[in-house]
Structure 1
Amino acid sequence: RGESMRRLGQFAEIIVGVAFLWAGIVKLMDPSAFLSAILTYEVFSYKVSVIASLGVPYLELCVGACLVFRVMKGGARMLAVGLLVVFIILLSQAAMRGLDVDCGCFGSSAKSSEAGFFWPIARDLLMLVGIGLGIIAGGNANGSREK
């Protein structure tokens, strides 16, 4: 039972890692579209939005690579959780304010308000569950029980 749970946790984290890699690559392919998406949330100044549009994709790539290749797992888990919580907060505040936003998550041109905010928020919550499975099955957030 313990070995199968450990493998499930690893698999879940690898899936989350692939999602982060995909998101980072898509954003790097069209940084101006990602900047536009950030601006639709009406939360950050233009300067902060530019910095985020340049930095977040690289952070996603690093987190994704660490989760997929099983290195620096503790830090990658903490960063993934932090990013996902920020994404959920941004999506939730946009939904509550009735904003017509482009999620910016995976380069989709579909507006969150047209498709509803449910799927992007649910997807991020599922990724949090995946990280949680990895922590529960393989060790704490700093990886101390990992083999």
Structure 2
Amino acid sequence: MHYRIKDTFEESVLEYDRFENIDTNNDLIKIGMYAYHLARWVRYFPLSQIYLVDGGVFKTDPVKELKNLERFLQLPRYFKKEHFFLHPKTNLYCSAFPIKRCLDKRQKGLRHPDVSDKIVKRLRDFYRAYDNQLSMMFNRTFTWMDEDV
């Protein structure tokens, strides 16, 4: 992977010489083209064997997403609401079973940059075709596809 991280987020995701274009050669952009990547996987595995966890659902209701995964894998029901608790300081779900455990804030991803609404719109416009293709492949809409996010 070749991530080109520059001084600003905008410089990192836009082409150097033509700032009106998304830099599709930068893996920061390519990694989000999920339908493109999954098209290669479905040459070897049928879609019926692939489940995509929706991180937005998992973040707000981990039990719901885990139950969906259990159903997909045809596993006996295991996960319950009491297996998780909402941490009052981080507002993130933590494991309550078999022991209470939370990710340290430092383990929970990188700090997100401030991004202008204009760049967010351009990125949404760029990814829309890939997201539509992904929705059609899996017959579902994922939370990050919501314009209000």
TM-score (norm 2): 0.22
- The structure where helix makes up a greater share of residues is 1
